[in-house]
Amino acid sequence: MVKINIGVPVYNVEAYLRECLDSIMNQTFKDFEVIMVDDGSTDNSFNICQEYVARDNRFKLIHQENKGLAGARNTCLKHMKGEYITWIDSDDVVDDNYLERLLEVQEKTSADIIRCVRKYIRDGNVYFINGYEDVFINEDGIFDLSLEMALENGLSNYLGTIEFWGELIPRRLYKGVSLSQGIIYEDQGNKFKLYFQSKKNVMVLEQLYSYRIRKDGIMGTQKKGKSILKESLKNLKMCIYNWNKLMYYVDIANYRVEEMRDSYMRELDNLPARVNLSGEDRVEYIKQQLISRNKSYVDIGVDKINSIEEGLL
């Protein structure tokens, strides 16, 4: 049995794909298998994947009609047989010792979830993040990441606790887990399924994973005119849908429920600006619809946002 399965969902990333796959081929730890799922790409991504399959028998390729990122991850999971799973997005890059270091930490700590710190790639430049070491003082650069800390970080995601990429997790934790297809930002609503099954989680203060920020990605797509509002409202709806799931997990864990609810309401107040809604009147209208009468999170769901969207478009 292979030690580590690497899941790489692929969709229209021909400009970045080779850099990603090369970083995987260059890993100092060699006992891995890559499951690439081409999710109906319309560019040259599928052919690039085929090149790596021909070069290295550890690379496997599956093609499917477009199902979105969660659908591609679900297909990856069906074909993974290794002891551990890690995810690398197809436009991102990992350091040569990414797998080796995460596995070393797992063997040292016996943790279920081992996460590393991310750095950023933007316009061809790499940006390191300063400040983690000042907040989390630890001689060996490893600190325990409790369920409570992960929940508290779920809204701001300062530590990246809601994302699947950038960490090593035993495959057994994924048993029975299916990711929500047709939902953007699907990490937010699904990651805590794993936290509730894990016994110990740690974070490594080494920036081993390079996350690419690009204008044509899910987080950076720009549209014009009326479609800006429509896309922004869709993003708003999905954020709230996933944050409602987070609050559900907070309730199950009985972790600072009232404080987390207050934080959630503050985030809702700032959310219209975060999803790039333009027009002061529209922003204010949506804000008031969301937080009027101090409604609890269970009352602020997809149906409410649907009605707002229908009223504006």
Range scoring the smallest mean pLDDT among 10-19, 155-164, 236-245: 236-245
Q: What is the structure's pLDDT at 67? A: 92
Answer whether residue 32 shows pLDDT above 70.
Answer: yes
Residue 105 in tokens: 């930490």
Domain CATH for 75 = 3.90.550.10
In a shared domain, residues 185 and 209? yes
Position 65 in a domain: yes
In a shared domain, residues 231 and 169? no
Domain boundary at 167, 187, 213, which?
213
In a shared domain, residues 162 and 266? no
Answer whether residue 192 shows pLDDT above 60.
Answer: yes
Domain boundary at 187, 213, 239, which?
213
Name the average pLDDT for the chain.
Answer: 80
pLDDT, tens only, 271-285? 656 555 555 544 554
User: For strand 32-39 and strand 59-64, is the pairing parallel, antiparallel, or unpaired?
Assistant: parallel
Answer whether residue 58 shows pLDDT above 70.
Answer: yes
Residue 287: domain span: 226-312
Position 219 in a domain: no
Number of structural domains found in the chain: 2
More confidently predicted of 116 and 184 = 116
pLDDT, tens only, 83-107? 999 999 999 999 999 999 999 999 9
Q: What is the structure's pLDDT at 133? A: 58
C-alpha span between 12 and 39 (Å, rounded): 9
In a shared domain, residues 302 and 195? no
In a shared domain, residues 166 and 257? no
- Split at pLDDT 50, 70, 90, the class of 293 is very low
Burial of 111 (0-12, 13-18, 19+ CB in 10 A): buried
Q: What is the structure's pLDDT at 174? A: 93
In a shared domain, residues 209 and 231? no
Answer whether residue 233 shows pLDDT above 50.
Answer: yes
